[in-house]
Structure 1
Amino acid sequence: MTTISEKVLHFRTLNDLSQADLGKKIEEITGESCDRHAISRYENGKRKIPVNYVPVLARIFGISTDELFFSSNELKQQHSDTRSLEVQIAEFKELAATNSSTLSMKALEIIDKAKAEIQDLKGQVKTWQKDAQKYKDELENIKPVIKKIGKYIEQMESFTN
């Protein structure tokens, strides 16, 4: 799949949608009339997909807009340093179509990594909560000083008036 037209066809069939179903979903979201004939023309490349339909199609298909424009290899290259969730989803979809056992193993690897990241985030939250409490305590200690300064300023202003 190299064109957006081919990808619309691919994701429509992957989601078990007829052209009429897809047209109805687009119409529900955009309020614009979109029938099966329009979808057919989009998929055949006879008509360009309106730019405002791109995020709508991504939402309907449960994918990112990048997945409509780029192949999974292109997504991998774009995000080679930080394998984003979008890249992983693209890989999963590719594996689901070709090799379900490999998909299961990869999914388990991702779940293990996610678990470790969640634990790390929980640790960060605890640290931030401690810091927030420390700053709150410091603020409580400073409030009396601020009140004294405020009274001092009032006294100084009364002398100058």
Structure 2
Amino acid sequence: MAVYVEDISAANMTISTGEREFFVALGERMASMRKARNLTQVQFAEALGVSQQTVQAYEVGRRRIPVSALPIVARLFDVSLEELFGEGNRSRGKRGPTSRLEQQMEAISQLPKTQQRFVTQMLDTVLTQAKQ
């Protein structure tokens, strides 16, 4: 039995500027979440069952991540799909601006790992002293 696979040309696969911007932003969020959890691209790729190069392409928006992989990504990062899509504040039902602590946590997650470790050590020291 022969299986017919339709030839999909590049013209049929083009995406709009808005869609491209969405996938670039999604990739940036995934990279940020991955780094905040101290996961490598290789570990992320293993969880998705793809190569490290594919994960790198997702993170820079060069490739579109399959819709079927999004729930896996959300579970891996322990976030809702809304948060993964950058709509986390709306899903919580919280109104008003982001709290200062949330803004600081986001800023810390963007720091290099060495600086994140330094901030974590400082927080651990302060919290330990506060318990005494």
How far apart in 2 are the matches of 1:15 and 1:93? 16
**More helix per residue:** 1
Q: How far, CA to CA, are the matches of 1:92 and 1:66 in structure 2?
A: 21
Which one scores higher on RCO, CA 8 angstroms, separation ≥ 6? 2
Label 1:83 to 1:11 Cα distance change in 2 as closer, same or farther (>3 A).
Answer: same
> Is 2:62 the partner of 1:46?
yes
How far did residue 60 of structure 1 move? 0.3
1-structure distance, mates of 2:57, 2:42: 12
2:83 is the counterpart of 1:67: yes
Q: Distance in 2 between matches of 1:26 and 1:70?
A: 20
Deviation at 1:63, TM superposition (A): 0.5
State the partner residue of 2:43.
Answer: 21
Matched, 1:57 2:68: no
- C-alpha change, 1:15 and 1:50, in structure 2 (3 Å) is same
1:98 deviates by: 4.3
Give the match for residue 105 of structure 2.
96
In the TM superposition, 1:141-156 aligns within 5 A as none
Deviation at 1:95?
Answer: 3.9
Sequence identity of aligned pairs in percent?
23
Q: Which ranges of structure 2 fall in alignment gaps of 5 or more residues?
A: 1-21, 109-118, 120-132
1:12-66 deviations in Å (ceiling 9; x for gaps): 1111111100011122xxxxxx010000000111100110111110000011110
Runs ≥4 in structure 1, deviation > 2 angstroms?
91-100
Asked if the contact 2:29/2:86 (under 8 Å) is kept, the reply is: no
* TM value normalised by structure 1: 0.44
Shift of 1:83: 2.9
Q: CA RMSD in A?
A: 3.2
Q: Is the Cα contact below 8 Å between 2:74 and 2:84 reproduced in 1?
A: yes
d(CA) in 2 for partners of 1:21 and 1:92? Answer: 29
Amino acid at match of 1:62: D
Unaligned runs of 5+ in 1: 28-33, 101-161
